[in-house]
Amino acid sequence: MTNTLHRYSEHYAFEPAPNPEPVRDDYIVFAMATRDLNDENLVEKYRCFLRLALKHDPVNIGDATKGGMLRPRQDMNPTAHWKRNQHPDPEQVIAGIEGHTTVAAVFDNYEAMRAFVEEVKAADLGISVNISAPMDEAKRCCRDAGIARHSVEYSLGFRGRVDKLPDATTLELSSMCGHGMVSANFAKKMMEWVKENRRSPEEAVRYMARFCICGVFNTGRAERIIKQACTLKS
The whole domain housing 49 covers 3-233
Residue 219 has pLDDT above 80, yes or no: yes
DSSP 17: P
Rg from Cα positions in the chain:
18
pLDDT over 90, % of the chain = 68
* 150 within 8 A of 121, measured Cβ to Cβ: no
Confidence (pLDDT) at 203: 92
How far, in Å, CA of 70 to CA of 214, rounded? 11
- Rounded to an integer, the average pLDDT of 150-158 is 83
Domains of the chain: total: 1
Burial environment of residue 54 by CB neighbours within 10 A (0 to 12, 13 to 18, 19 or more): middle
Q: Write out pLDDT tens, residues 2-53.
A: 678 888 887 655 555 556 677 889 999 999 999 999 999 999 999 999 999 9
Burial environment of residue 19 by CB neighbours within 10 A (0 to 12, 13 to 18, 19 or more): exposed
C-beta neighbour count of 92 within 10 angstroms: 15
Q: What is the pLDDT confidence band of residue 81, given thresholds at 50, 70 and 90?
A: low
